[in-house]
Amino acid sequence: MSENHDENVKNENTGSPGILSPDLRSMTLPELQDFLQELGEPKFRAGQLFSWLHEKCARTPEEMTNLPASLRQRVADGIFAAETVQVQVSAEDGTRKYLFRMPDGELVESVLLRYHHGNTVCVSSQVGCRMGCSFCASTLKGLSRSLRPSEILEQIYAITRDTGERISNVVVMGMGEPLDNYENVLRFIELLTCEGGLHISQRNVTVSTCGLVPEIRKLAGEHLQITLAISLHAATDAQRQAIMPIAKRYALKELMEACAFYVEETGRRVTFEYSLIRGVNDTEEDAQNLSKLAKPLGAHVNLIPVNPVRETGMQPTERGQVLAFQKKLESRGVNATIRRELGRDIDGACGQLRNRNLTDETAL
């Protein structure tokens, strides 16, 4: 992988030192049963606790009124809730960007997007990111650490508590590379979609990756019904390598083969995310190359005029050319939509979430 990636490996810390162990909101129901059994509690208590943690999105044990006070006390140290530090509301479209503090003080951003078809939450899977894509703000300060299942879930639960509204869709498209935090993200999906929790349909969950080939293949083998989105952004190896370090590790050919394997194993289509950057990847020839990759896979293409990030200096392709690019794809039999960008005015759009601390000038 890229130098950036390798340099950061030694700094990786996948644990969350601030969370008291055990982390009950990261446990499956059978694990909770074992845990409570060891405390000498009857089995049915696990179901009650699980429901408080995942269906009712309880913040504290005090809310768990059908549990005996003694038990509430004993589990208190294992239950953490995200602390809401800030909510920014877009004046343009009502999108809400949340800043949450995790138990060890790390800050994480999540976004609530209100579409006609329901509420979507975009969650972060890591604090920062080590993938180094040149157009993305999340990677500017590298990776601090990966998030635990409970910490990813809490972003959704805290938003549910705040708005009282049902969340129907979840996209793992915030800060971080979800497949660089594979086990935790997988467990997050399990807890999010299971019957005893919010029970969000797997089909309404999207995981977006910059293209970690072995993990895509592994994910295919899980046979989930989630949507896999590939952040492609370029349709030749040379172009992709110029903006995405991961492309130096995995050639497009390998990536496309992994996508084909995913489609074959799961029966689900993949989506290609393609940010249009002025003068970089937005010519007719680029559209033609992209159609050659998308067509055989039956992949849907999401076009996103690149969102401004102060540090990158990249400019979005102008509207007329975006439409022409879309038309070119469609004329070649590729389904392409132009993503409506919500929350741009609060830096809540794709690639605008950043790893930060409260002393950053942009923080508060």
Contact residues toward ligand SAH (CB under 6 A) are 131, 133, 135-136, 173, 177, 208-210, 231, 273, 275, 304, 306-307, 309, 350-351
Which residue of the chain is nearest ligand SAH when measured via CB? 351
Phi-psi region of 238 (alpha: psi -120 to 50; beta: other; left: phi over 0): alpha
Q: Which is nearer to ligand SAH, 173 or 290 (CB)?
A: 173
22 or 142: CB nearest ligand SAH: 142
Gap between the terminal Cα atoms of the chain = 35
Task: For residue 136, indicate whether it is catalytic.
Answer: no
With 0-12 / 13-18 / 19 or more C-beta atoms within 10 angstroms meaning exposed / middle / buried, residue 198 is buried
In the complex, least distance from residue 71 CB atom to ligand SAH, rounded to whole angstroms: 39
Is the CB of 136 or the CB of 334 nearer to ligand SAH?
Answer: 136
For residue 360, the number of C-alpha atoms closer than 13 Å in the C-beta half-sphere is 10
Q: How far is CA 191 from each of CA 28, 124, 146, rounded to the nearest angstrom?
A: 7, 16, 18
Q: How far is the CB of 232 from ligand SAH (least distance, A)?
A: 8
If one counts every other C-beta atom within 10 angstroms of the C-beta of residue 204, the result is: 19
CB-wise, 191 or 349, nearer to ligand SAH?
Answer: 349
Least distance to ligand SAH, CB of residue 110, Å? 12
Q: Hey, CA dihedral for 150, 154, 156, 161, is it positive or negative?
A: positive
Structure tokens at 39: 């405390």
Least distance between ligand SAH and beta carbon 8 (Å): 14
3-state secondary structure of 87: strand
Active site residue 109: yes
Scan for tokens 């004046």, then name that residue: 91
CA triplet 276, 280, 286: central angle to 5 degrees?
75
| DSSP symbol at 140 | T
- Whose Cβ is closer to ligand SAH: residue 122's or residue 153's? 122
Kind and range of the H or E run holding 274? strand 270-276
Q: Closest separation between CB of residue 281 and ligand SAH, Å?
A: 12
41, 106, 109, 341: the active-site residue: 109
- Active site residues per annotation: 109, 350
